[in-house]
Amino acid sequence: MKRTNQWVVAVVCLMTLAAGLLAAGMAQDRVLYPVKTGGGRSGPPGRPVVPEWGLLGGVSYENLTVFPVVSRAEASTSGFATLDEALASGDVVVAESGSDIIRRTRDGRPIRYDSGPQVNRLVLVNRGKRPLVLLAGEVVSGGKQDRVIAKDRIVPPGADPLPLDVFCVEHGRWTGASAQFDSSKFMVHPSVREKAAVAQKQDEVWAAVRGGTTADTSATRVGGGGGAAKAAPAAPPVITAEALSSIVTVEAQSESYDKIYNKSRVGKSVDSFAAEVSRRFEKAIAGLKGERVIGVVVAYGGEVAWSDAFASEQLFRVYWPKLLKSYVVEALARPRTQERPAFEEARAFLEPLRGRVNEESEPGVYRWRQTSEGRLAAIELESLAPKNLLLHWVKIRKTS
């Protein structure tokens, strides 16, 4: 009997050890790895308090992998308005700059903004009661041409009409029944967004619109995913540069970016691809306790290439549907490969950069900061009122 008991104890110990090893292996895809952004919890003088971020295991489909970024802290962002909701409610007006543009402030005071229409300049009036958040890459439709927002920024309520920097994502049209713009409810894909936010050049933005990805797709990495076996040769992308150019130029009068999402077979591919990634993503984050999903790290094949993170889960959820579709367009324009990125590479992508810094600000409203280090660039949008808050953070592996 004694020997039997010893045998039972030994078996239980072995089972416990095996379960522990299995759990440890599984935890490599679920465990929180604290990453201190912005210099740590207290932050350098003049910087917002930034909580530690964690990273969960990647969710993969085809050649796209997204890693959920999580935080135990939750900032309140309900006091900010987003472009889509503000345009829909009428709290914000975006229009061609021109002598006929007359708007009123919340107190009824008329304001006139006198300037002729310009390709790279619109006028925005925030008539609502909340600060407006603008993200580089958001598209507004209408006016004389569809445009894309050039930079992240915050527009306070009641401010004078804002000269808004934009880039054209529609050629061949310079007419419109209305000078005003509506929300397109989509965002340009990362290659175009990079050219708008970092390169800040109209010709490069348009080249990215017509050419799809600006990444080097002539060769794929071998053995991605932290030492995995050699990857099979990548299949051609679903959206080639030639196909994309054909899509946006299908109507001679208007070469428009929105045709990638609408009025083409590619739009259906984007929708089905995004739906499957979304399904897997929600399954992967189900059951989280004490952590909130506030962003993602994005990889194409074996290359970690992009990250968007927000101050709150609520704000992330507002932007997630159109961000996901933008990542999908980029994936469809890159070679189809089953390579997977290493978890540690995705984790390292959240680390702060220490290179050259370019900063702009509006006192008492926001601070915009871009840090460049080699092929990497990070952009921070910081709210200065009513408290310092890192509202949006994006990191980019530049394609050129």
| Sequence-separated contacts (24+) of 318-321 with Cβ below 8 Å | 318/82, 318/84, 318/85, 319/82, 319/135, 319/187, 321/274, 321/278
How high is the pLDDT of residue 99?
39
* HEC profile of 81-120: EEHHHHHHHCCEEEEECCCCCEEECCCCCEEECCCCCECC
Mind listing the pLDDT tens digit for each residue in 99-149? 355 454 445 555 555 555 577 889 999 999 999 999 999 999 888 888 899
Whole-angstrom distance, CA of residue 375 vs CA of residue 117? 36
pLDDT more than 90, % of the chain: 48
Cβ atoms 235, 313 nearer than 8 A: no
Beta bridge partners of 91: none
Residue type, 261: Y
Please tell me whether residue 307 adopts helix, strand or coil conformation: strand
* Average of per-residue pLDDT across 339-359: 93
Mind listing the pLDDT tens digit for each residue in 309-321? 999 999 999 999 9
* Average of per-residue pLDDT across 208-231: 60
Q: At what angle do helices 241-248 and 202-211 cross, to 10 degrees?
A: 110
pLDDT for 225 beyond 70: no
Whole-angstrom distance, CA of residue 101 vs CA of residue 87? 16
How high is the pLDDT of residue 96?
87
List phi, psi (to 5°) of 43. Answer: 75, 155
Mind listing the pLDDT tens digit for each residue in 268-283? 888 999 999 999 999 9
C-alpha distances (whole Å) from 63 to each of 148, 161, 164, 285, 371 are 26, 43, 36, 20, 28
Whole-angstrom distance, CA of residue 136 vs CA of residue 275? 24
- State the residue for tokens 């041409």: 145
pLDDT for 186 beyond 70: yes
Please tell me whether residue 131 adopts helix, strand or coil conformation: coil
Residue 51's pLDDT band (boundaries 50, 70, 90)? low
* The model's pTM: 0.82
Whole-angstrom distance, CA of residue 372 vs CA of residue 357? 7
Q: And the tokens for 183? A: 């929300």
Instruction: Report the candidate in 80, 150, 76, 164 with the shortest Cα–Cα distance to residue 117.
Output: 164
The overall average pLDDT reported for the chain is 79
Cβ atoms 132, 150 nearer than 8 A: no
Q: And the tokens for 391? A: 């509202």
Distance of CA 286 to the CA centre of its chain: 22
Instruction: Report the candidate in 305, 378, 287 with the shortest Cα–Cα distance to residue 56.
Output: 287
C-alpha distances (whole Å) from 226 to each of 34, 222, 268, 355 are 20, 10, 33, 26
Instruction: Report the candidate in 343, 350, 352 with the shortest Cα–Cα distance to residue 372.
Output: 352
**Burial class of residue 112, CB neighbours in 10 A (0-12, 13-18, 19+):** exposed
List the single range of 71-85, 220-234, 326-340 with lowest mean pLDDT: 220-234
> What percentage of the chain's residues is helix, strand, coil (to nearest 5)?
30, 30, 40
Whole-angstrom distance, CA of residue 70 vs CA of residue 55? 6
H or E stretch covering 16: helix 2-27
